[in-house]
Amino acid sequence: MIGRRNKKRKKTKTSLKLRSAGKMQRRKNARPTVSLKSVSTTSLAILVSICAVGGVVLGLSHLNRYVKGKGTVPGRLGSLELIAVPSWVNEELQAKVYAAACADRSALKLNERTARIVHDNIAHKVAWLDEVRVQVTHDAIQISGVWRQPLALVRRGVKKFYLDAELVVLDYVPMPEMPVVEVAGLPLTAKAPSPGSVWQRQDLAAAVEILRQLHRCDNLFTAEKPLRHELERIDISNFGGRRNGTTAHVVLYAKDKTQIIWGAEYGQWHHHLESTDEEKLNRLYSYYREYGSLGGNAKYINLRDPQDYIPLPIDRY
**pLDDT tens sequence across 11-20:** 443 333 333 3
Class of domain 79-147: alpha beta
Please state, in angstroms and rounded to a whole number, the distance separating the CA atoms of residues 59 and 169.
48
Read off the pLDDT of each residue in 283-312 and give the average, rounded to a whole number. 83
Please state, in angstroms and rounded to a whole number, the distance separating the CA atoms of residues 256 and 278.
25
Give yes or no for residue 191 having a pLDDT over 80.
Answer: yes
198: β partners: 168
Q: What percent of the chain has pLDDT over 70?
A: 71
Give yes or no for residue 2 having a pLDDT over 50.
Answer: no
pLDDT of residue 66: 27
pLDDT of residue 308: 61
Angstrom CA distances, 192 to 130, 148, 189, 309, stand at 20, 18, 10, 41
Query: Where does CATH 3.10.20 sit in the chain?
Result: 79-147
Q: How many CB atoms lie within 10 A of CB 229?
A: 15
- Ranking 65-69, 141-145, 268-272, 304-308 by mean pLDDT, the lowest is 65-69
Read off the pLDDT of each residue in 236-246 and give the average, rounded to a whole number. 96
- Rounded (10°) CA dihedral 79, 82, 87, 92: -60
Read off the pLDDT of each residue in 218-234 and give the average, rounded to a whole number. 96
pLDDT of residue 215: 98
pTM of the model: 0.72
E strand or H helix that includes residue 115: helix 112-125
E strand or H helix that includes residue 146: strand 140-147
Band the pLDDT of 297: cuts 50, 70, 90. confident
Going by the DSSP 8-state scheme, the letter that residue 232 receives in this structure is E
Give yes or no for residue 69 having a pLDDT over 70.
Answer: no
- Which one has a higher pLDDT value, 130 or 38? 130
pLDDT of residue 106: 58
pLDDT of residue 173: 97
E strand or H helix that includes residue 129: strand 129-136
Please state, in angstroms and rounded to a whole number, the distance separating the CA atoms of residues 281 and 269.
13
